[in-house]
Amino acid sequence: MKIKTLSAIAAMLVSTPFVAVADEADKDANLVVNGEVELVTRAPAPAHLEGAVDEVISGWLFRTSETQSLQMDDFDNPGMIFVDQAMDDWGTAVGSEGKSCADCHGAVEDSMEGVRAVYPKWNETAGEVRTVAQMINECRTDRMGADALGYTSAAMARMEALISMQSRGMPVNVAIDGPAQETWEWGKELYYTRTGQLQMSCANCHEDNYGNNIRADHLSQGQINGFPVYRLKNAKLTTPHGRFKGCVRDTRAETYGTGSDAFVALELYVASRGNGLSVEGVSVRN
Amino acid sequence: MRLTKITTVAAVLTAGAAVAEIVAPGDVVFDEYGAIEKSLTGVAGDPANGEKIMVTKSKGNCIACHEVTALDYAPFHGEVGPILDGVGSRWNEAELRGIIAFAKMTYEGSMMPNFYQVEGFIRPGDGFTGKAGTEPLPPLLAAQEIEDVVAYLLTLEDE
């Protein structure tokens, strides 16, 4: 502990005055949560990324040691409050059918284990790729007689967080072939499309420039294995589509809608770029 | 009295002429390397204003991507583009004008935005609102602002 603090101070001292001191990342850190759950934050890139990147890296490694440490203990992780709230939601009956999630699914620890790791996923009945958020809303509207939750609402984000927690430590492993392939190809096209007046694509920032600073921000690979993330900036959980929207907006573009087919496709593609990294449950970012 | 009046008229005339001389984004002429020989306004650039534009987030925001030692009083220089120290010795005025106005003409596929392009975008937005914008959009920098930035860059000479 003492040594870590010292090296953090040393890192601050050597950094040049105008580089954001608060953004010194510890790139060699290991992510072990509660001293027991070991998470993979670097992995060989999946085959489909050949020629693009050799290694896939969790966004956690690009954050400061202070931000990193908040994710290493569930008592320090501010996102866990929302997981607790979602645990209450899980057991609470809502809608005209008078049912709770637990009434159909039982214990979340059992029924939702491994779910997050393989989503977005082809849904045979629907005949399209579905996200976890869409599946949550399908249960609410079709089986519980309740209203759909707002796609990036607080209630949705925390339910996604609870479900993600049941896959913590499992490798992301979304399928990109078979019936999902067409959606994946579209997501890939969107990833490389240079939008807006700034004419930038996801790849410009997160493939060509990860590790570089853009103004005060230290660019990561834009992975979503840690989502939903708790952001210190606004003290809330952020979902993948919420993040995508912000990034597209920052290119001075008209964004796509959260929950839109385009963002579902993009989510599948971005998730596939993290195949091999651990699901982090609820990560912490600045 | 008479004389003053004439000078005023003359001043108005020249000002009018300067306005008329602004080269619209679609009328810019490039050489084969992407340089723009002709001033976009016919009015000499103001390096002091150019410096301000370089560091202002809502203007050029150039230091978001570039480090410039002479500007190290301003926080947060990025690392996406090359360090601009000595850039006034590497490039002449026409080349710098080309890089600022339409970087992608000099560097194919560059990450650097075209500061004078107003149409031909995919999903053009209304500034940073995330809503749709209508082309032609206002350019990221006005013609004279580009001249001012070029004038500033020309002061960044090698020792």
Question: Could you tell me if B123 and B130 are in contact, meaning their C-beta atoms sit under 8 angstroms apart?
Answer: no
pLDDT 10s digits, A229-256: 999 999 999 999 999 999 999 999 999 9
> B56 to chain A: nearest residue by CA?
A215
Based on the residue annotation, tell me whether A104 is a catalytic residue of this protein: no
- Closest by Cα among A277, A60, A22 to A169: A277
- Closest by Cα among A117, A70, A137, A155 to A281: A117
Q: How far is CA B153 from the centre of its chain?
A: 10
Give the integer Cα–Cα distance in Å for A245 and B131.
11
A18 touches chain B (CB under 8 A): yes
A193 touches chain B (CB under 8 A): yes
Mean pLDDT, residues A152-166 taken together: 98
* Cα A132-A135-A141 angle, rounded to 5 deg: 145
CB contact under 8 A, B57 and A215: yes
Give the integer Cα–Cα distance in Å for A55 and A50.
10
Minimal Cβ distance to B128: which of A195, A212, A252:
A252
Question: Could you tell me if A121 and A167 are in contact, meaning their C-beta atoms sit under 8 angstroms apart?
Answer: no
Q: Which residues of B touch A198 (CB under 8 A)?
A: 113
Q: Are strands A213-214 and A217-218 parallel, antiparallel or unpaired?
A: antiparallel
CB contact under 8 A, B131 and A245: no
Give the integer Cα–Cα distance in Å for A99 and B62.
56
Q: Which of A139, A202, A205, A247 is catalytic?
A: A247
Mean pLDDT, residues A186-192 taken together: 98
Mean pLDDT, residues B3-31 taken together: 66
Mean pLDDT, residues A83-95 taken together: 98
A198 touches chain B (CB under 8 A): yes
B122: tokens are 């995919």
What DSSP assignment string belongs to B56-117? -TTTT-GGGT---GGGTTSS---SSS---TTHHHHS-HHHHHHHHH-HHHHSTT-SS--TT-
State how far residue A193 is from chain B, nearest Cα, in angstroms. 8
Mean pLDDT, residues A71-88 taken together: 98
Domains of chain B (ranges, CATH numbers): 22-154 (1.10.760.10)
Segment holding A236, helix H or strand E: strand A236-238
A197 touches chain B (CB under 8 A): yes
B112 touches chain A (CB under 8 A): no
Mean pLDDT, residues B129-155 taken together: 98
Question: In this structure, what is the dihedral angle of CA atoms A268, A270, A271, A276, given to the nearest 10 degrees?
Answer: 140
Q: How far is CA A63 from the centre of its chain?
A: 15
Which of A15, A18, A197, A202 is the best mutation test for B, with the most CBs of B within 10 A? A197
Question: Could you tell me if B59 and B145 are in contact, meaning their C-beta atoms sit under 8 angstroms apart?
Answer: yes
Minimal Cβ distance to B130: which of A17, A214, A255:
A255
Question: Could you tell me if A272 and B147 are in contact, meaning their C-beta atoms sit under 8 angstroms apart?
Answer: no
pLDDT at B20 over 70: no
Give the integer Cα–Cα distance in Å for A61 and A82.
23
